């Protein structure tokens, strides 16, 4: 049984919702799945004034525990075409894991969100991939076998690099059904590959 960590940062709740869909997909394979988040770096009064979703229940992860999992699926909203500082800061603390090769051969995957349809979703995931490869991880995306990312019937996130959602400029759009299905598919896909590698 693969042990999967869904590790995310979510300011307004969109990525949080996607994270639980990813976890649901991974669990459907029989994997042991944990959902955790990285620490918030914004002072609480600023977060409240900015209407951050501060009632998230996922526990805070620690850097050293990353070595305990067969796969880590990272989630973060897009900030100027790359992952949010909170997730980047967390990943930048993995130097000792890198030096010891603790993440070599583990599966790494990513999902994201942006305010607009072309707001940097692909660049965010593509920008994270070199980091995962430096850590020695095996990168897994969202293959076109998930046909929900095809077609022009509706505006939707998703690419072969990973699941994504579009939030709207004011954050009012929540992940659509097809975007949540993409997240579930990615979670299951990663878990299956992680189980094969772990065996």
From first to last of its 199 residues, what are the pLDDT tens digits of the chain? 899 999 999 999 999 999 999 999 999 999 999 999 999 999 999 999 999 999 999 999 999 999 999 999 999 999 999 999 999 999 999 999 999 999 999 999 999 999 999 999 999 999 999 999 999 999 999 999 999 999 999 999 999 999 999 999 999 999 999 999 999 999 999 999 999 999 8
- Is 12 annotated as a binding-site member? yes
- Is 14 annotated as a binding-site member? yes
DSSP E strand boundaries for the chain: 3-9, 32-37, 71-79, 82-83, 107-114, 138-139, 164-166
Residue the block writes with tokens 């997909």 = 25
Q: Could you give the number of structural domains in the chain?
A: 1
Q: Report CA-CA distances (Å) from 50 to 38, 40, 113, 154, 168.
A: 19, 13, 18, 30, 16
- Is 144 annotated as a binding-site member? no
Q: Domain range for residue 127?
A: 3-197
CA-derived radius of gyration, the chain: 16
| 3-state SS class at 114 | strand
Length of the chain, in residues: 199
- Is 155 annotated as a binding-site member? no
- Is 191 annotated as a binding-site member? no
- Is 11 annotated as a binding-site member? yes
pTM more than 0.75 = yes
Query: What whole-number distance in Å separates Cα of residue 106 and Cα of residue 92?
Result: 18
What are the two backbone dihedrals, phi and then psi, of residue 106, each rounded to the nearest 5 degrees?
-85, 155
- pLDDT, one tens digit per residue, over 90-126 is 999 999 999 999 999 999 999 999 999 999 999 999 9
- Is 51 annotated as a binding-site member? no
- What CATH code is carried by the domain that includes residue 161? 3.40.50.360
């Amino acid at each position: 049984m693969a042990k999967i960590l869904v590790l995310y940062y979510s300011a307004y709740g969109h990525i949080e919702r996607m994270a639980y869909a990813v976890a649901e997909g991974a669990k459907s394979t029989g994997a042991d799945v944990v959902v955790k988040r990285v620490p918030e770096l914004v002072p609480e009064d600023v977060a409240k004034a900015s209407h951050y979703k501060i009632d998230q229940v996922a526990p805070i992860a620690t850097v050293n525990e990353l070595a305990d999992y067969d796969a880590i699926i990272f989630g973060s909203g897009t900030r100027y075409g790359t992952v949010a500082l909170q997730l980047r800061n967390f990943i930048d603390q993995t130097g000792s894991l890198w030096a010891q090769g603790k993440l070599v051969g583990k599966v790494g995957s990513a999902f994201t969100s942006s305010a607009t349809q072309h707001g940097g979703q692909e660049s965010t995931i593509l920008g994270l991939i070199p980091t995962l490869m430096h850590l020695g991880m095996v990168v897994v995306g969202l293959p076109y076998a998930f046909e929900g990312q095809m077609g022009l019937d509706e505006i939707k996130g998703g690419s072969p690099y990973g699941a994504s959602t579009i939030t709207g400029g004011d954050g009012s759009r929540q992940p659509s059904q097809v975007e949540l299905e993409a997240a579930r598919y990615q979670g299951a896909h990663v878990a299956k590959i992680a189980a094969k590698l772990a065996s």
